[in-house]
Structure 1
Amino acid sequence: MSDITARIADPDDLRVLIMLAALLIVGLLAAVAAGSQPFMHRQDAGSGFRWVKRQ
């Protein structure tokens, strides 16, 4: 079985691809979390981001 996978892709290449995929997934999750921050259910949910001054 390892001969077949060695012919398809080098194990070092697979390691790099897996690391890139993991980084993309983490980045996607961070973007979703940042985008959903104003909509979180908490006491000051309508105030927007914490670092924006209220007027």
Structure 2
Amino acid sequence: MSDYQDLCAMYGRSPSDPDFIDDLIDDISGESTLEQEDYEWYEENENKKHYQLLNN
């Protein structure tokens, strides 16, 4: 089997299903493991240089 066929089988879908990849992307992008404080940290630090963040 190909990697794509294996992926389809893992999710119980058919390789000939034209909506499989779109559905998979929607499912994965809808899952969030970040907490509110993670978002706040990102908003506060998104414009800082990596070196600056590492030093802090």
Q: TM-score, normalising length from structure 1? A: 0.35
Structure number with the higher helix fraction is: 1
Larger Rg: 1
- Using the size of structure 2 for normalisation, the TM-score is 0.34
